[in-house]
């Protein structure tokens, strides 16, 4: 029954911990990045609009993102709670979310802010590999698959996201610091913010989050 926001730089481990947390809480994880990537791979009109921004590591314009999330939060499985991974990412997005929630009633329960030093972010992103089919993520040295280049879960090939090269990753972190980091203050003022050390690893992070929620 929780409504949770995950806040943190690219490579901080949001996606990984999101998967583990929702498995326990039985709420959907809503990742705007995943939604855009799916649209991109299916060449939908939304995917085509988002493509150029994503490949440069820029943010997709607020208008496109906000409508998408408003629709997604209106779906049945999101009635009792959800975990937002990658949204909001700008102050206007956070204000829009407040507007959406005010219409629907109950608000956010916790905002987890995951801190990771910049050099760790870059090496995590540059070494990240993703299953082409089921989306599971690996890291070439920190969390390698059993057989190189092959997903442990489904046997499909692993790929590197187009925006996971070092140059684009550095730009994404700069964009994060400029546009998204100010959200920490936004949510600190509401008393919802919980800061966590993202170097602790996904299971320790998940346990810390569960403690905060209980």
Site residues (vs Zn ion, CB under 5 A): 131, 133-134, 136, 151, 153-154, 156
Based on the residue annotation, tell me whether 161 is a catalytic residue of this protein.
yes
Q: Does 129 bind ligand ADP (CB under 6 A)?
A: no
Q: At residue 74, what are phi and psi to the nearest 5 degrees?
A: -80, -10
Q: Tell me the pairing of strands 29-31 and 158-159.
A: unpaired
**Minimum gap (Å) between residue 154 Cβ and Zn ion:** 3
Q: Does 130 bind ligand ADP (CB under 6 A)?
A: no
Taking the alpha carbons at both ends of the chain, their separation in whole angstroms is 11
Closest CA to 14 of 188, 152, 212, 202: 202
**Minimum gap (Å) between residue 130 Cβ and ligand ADP:** 10
Q: Does 60 bind ligand ADP (CB under 6 A)?
A: yes
Q: What sign does the dihedral 35-52-92-96 (CA atoms) show?
A: negative
Closest CA to 176 of 88, 64, 48, 107: 88
Among 13, 19, 28, 33, binds ligand ADP (CB under 6 A): 33
Q: Does 10 bind ligand ADP (CB under 6 A)?
A: yes
Active-site residue among 3, 37, 124, 128? 128
Whether residue 102 contacts residue 111, with contact meaning beta carbons closer than 8 Å, is answered with no
**Minimum gap (Å) between residue 134 Cβ and Zn ion:** 3
Active-site residue among 3, 37, 89, 129? 89
Based on the residue annotation, tell me whether 211 is a catalytic residue of this protein.
no
**Minimum gap (Å) between residue 57 Cβ and ligand ADP:** 5
Active-site residue among 14, 37, 129, 206? 14
| Measured distance CA(213)–CA(167) in Å, rounded | 37
Based on the residue annotation, tell me whether 37 is a catalytic residue of this protein.
no
Between residues 163 and 196, which has the closer beta carbon with respect to ligand ADP? 163
Between residues 28 and 86, which has the closer beta carbon with respect to ligand ADP? 86
Based on the residue annotation, tell me whether 14 is a catalytic residue of this protein.
yes
| Measured distance CA(53)–CA(93) in Å, rounded | 17
Interaction partner, residue 131 (Zn ion, ligand ADP, none; CB < 5-8 Å by kind): Zn ion
Instruction: Count the alpha carbons within 13 Å of 172 in the hemisphere toward its beta carbon.
Output: 25
Burial class (CB in 10 A: 0-12, 13-18, 19+), 11: buried
Interaction partner, residue 154 (Zn ion, ligand ADP, none; CB < 5-8 Å by kind): Zn ion
Catalytic annotation, residues:
14, 89, 128, 161, 172
């Amino acid at each position: 029954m929780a409504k949770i926001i995950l806040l943190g730089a690219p490579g901080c481990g949001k996606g990984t911990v999101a998967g583990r947390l929702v498995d326990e809480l039985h709420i959907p994880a809503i990742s705007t990045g995943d939604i855009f990537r799916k649209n991109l791979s299916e060449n939908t009109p939304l995917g085509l609009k988002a493509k150029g921004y994503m490949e440069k590591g820029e943010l997709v314009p607020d208008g496109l993102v906000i409508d998408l999330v408003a629709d997604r939060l209106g779906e049945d499985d999101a009635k009792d709670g959800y975990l937002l991974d990658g949204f909001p990412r700008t102050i206007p997005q956070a204000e829009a979310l407040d507007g959406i929630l005010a219409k629907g009633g109950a608000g956010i329960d916790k905002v987890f802010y995951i801190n990771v030093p910049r050099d760790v972010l870059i090496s995590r992103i540059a070494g990240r590999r993703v299953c082409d089919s089921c989306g599971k993520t690996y890291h070439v040295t920190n969390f390698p698959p059993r057989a190189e280049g092959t997903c442990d879960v489904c046997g499909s090939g692993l790929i590197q996201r187009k925006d996971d090269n070092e140059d684009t990753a550095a730009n994404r972190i700069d964009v994060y610091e400029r546009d998204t980091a100010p959200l920490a203050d936004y949510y600190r003022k509401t008393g919802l913010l919980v800061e966590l050390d993202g170097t602790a690893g996904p299971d320790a992070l998940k346990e810390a989050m569960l403690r905060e929620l209980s």
